[in-house]
Structure 1
Amino acid sequence: MTSAGRAGRVRVERRLMTARHGARLLDRKQHILADELERFQLRLELGRAEWEELAKEAALWLRRAAALDGSRRIEAAAPLEPARVSVTWGSAMGVLYPQDPECRLPPVPPAAGSSALAYAAVVHRSALEAGVRFAAVQRAELLLSVELAATRTRQRAVENRWIPRLENELQSIRRQLDAQELEESLRLRWAADRNSRNAVRLAQDSDGRGIR
């Protein structure tokens, strides 16, 4: 029984050590993710401001071009091919997120309208590039936010539930082992005292027979 209890104590001690190590790793991951998220949140605000400003300017010049050139010339000024976007992927503590997006714009058709139409096309291209950058940062911020929240939840579960439960289990095992060891020690002492008394009694009986 004592041997099984000692094996259980070793097993729980190892699990407790693993849990504490895991809590430290989760805490480190949380701080790294929080720093990375703060950096992306700053870029997000800057990217949103840039995109909104260019989008407003593009809408303004589109209205002016519509007034001067009409919808047919606007349609004729539209590129024949769609824009294409490619991204590379960065990583922070195992979280993959898009970064450094590249927006490949199609060739601009020959100008056939007012300067307002030409400038509207230029501003729309700039707004599209800004929107792509903003979307990539927004997605990265979302992915990091989700992982940070999950990491904090796991860390609280380890620190507030798993570690205390293992500590209580280990304390209970230690109390049982202490009680068993005390019981065994008392049993050995009683056995030793009994043997000692028996030896004294035998010696006394032997002396008594010798006297007779």
Structure 2
Amino acid sequence: MTVRVPPGRAGRLWLRRRLATATTATSLLEQKLRTLQQEHRRLELRAQHTAGQWRDSAAEAGRWLIRAELAGGQRAIRLATTADLADVTVTWKTSMGVSYPVEGTVTPPRRAQGTAVSGGGAVVRAAEAHQRALEAAVRHAVATEALRVVEREIATTRQRVRALDRRWIPELRTTLAELELALEEQDRAEGLARRRAVRNAEVSP
């Protein structure tokens, strides 16, 4: 990487400003990374918890479906179902410049509730169990997507910190040191030239 620097003392000021900006940016990114890592741990636990809830509720829904089939047959199941789809509303949150889902709300099909009664108690319980399983699946989907988004942002932030720490800041420091050395040599040369000019002026008749 080559840093294009303005010539002379303007270049030194330019480099110092860029170095200060890069150092501040690194500190902010490291703070962001720590916050994201804390949120990642929370979301990871949440995803594990919702996964367990989903597995349990899906298993319960499967058991009640078998009971409903035994109690009322396939016809009762068909009467209790609907072609309408459930609606899922997802709420998003923005933190540290990252947007990720935090909650999912399920609205069941309107016709599913009234038709389930005709199939008997087992069908009603099966419908309720499947509703709980759907809600658990949405919660787990929200948790896993939030975890994925935060993981991706952590990777991106780490990459930016490494780029600043390992490439940009060292390059700026090296270029600044070289420029300051060149300016010092230039100052010494100019000072020596002035002293010579003064001595020459003093000895001139």
Q: TM-score, normalised by structure 1?
A: 0.86
1:4 & 1:194 partners in 2: Cα distance?
A: 31
Per mean C-alpha deviation after superposition, the further-off stretch among 34-43 and 72-81 is 72-81
Alignment pair present for 1:118 and 2:121:
no
The structural deviation recorded for 1:71 is 2.2
**Alignment partner for residue 180 of structure 1, among 169, 186, 203?**
186
What pairs up with 1:5-154 in 2 under 5 angstroms?
5-107=8-110, 108=113, 109-154=115-160
The structural deviation recorded for 1:40 is 1.1
Task: Flag the structure with larger Rg.
Answer: 1
- Structure 2 residue runs of 5 or longer lacking an equivalent are 1-5
The structural deviation recorded for 1:11 is 0.8
- Paired AA for residue 153 in structure 1: Q
Indicate the RMSD between aligned Cα atoms, in angstroms: 1.7
The structural deviation recorded for 1:150 is 0.3
SS in 1 for 2:119: coil
- Paired AA for residue 46 in structure 1: H
**Alignment partner for residue 172 of structure 2, among 135, 148, 166?**
166
- Structure 1 residue runs of 5 or longer lacking an equivalent are 203-212
- Paired AA for residue 102 in structure 1: T
The structural deviation recorded for 1:114 is 4.6
Deviations 1:33-73 (A, max 9, x none): 11112111111111110011111111122233233433222
The structural deviation recorded for 1:99 is 1.7
- Paired AA for residue 31 in structure 1: R
- Percent identity reads 37
In the comparison of the two structures, how many residue pairs are matched?
197
Q: Which stretches of structure 1, 4 residues or longer, exceed 6 Å deviation after superposition?
A: none
Query: Are the counterparts in 2 of residues 36 and 92 from structure 1 also a CA contact under 8 Å?
Result: no
Q: TM-score, normalised by structure 2?
A: 0.89
1:102 & 1:159 partners in 2: Cα distance?
A: 43
Per mean C-alpha deviation after superposition, the further-off stretch among 132-141 and 99-108 is 99-108
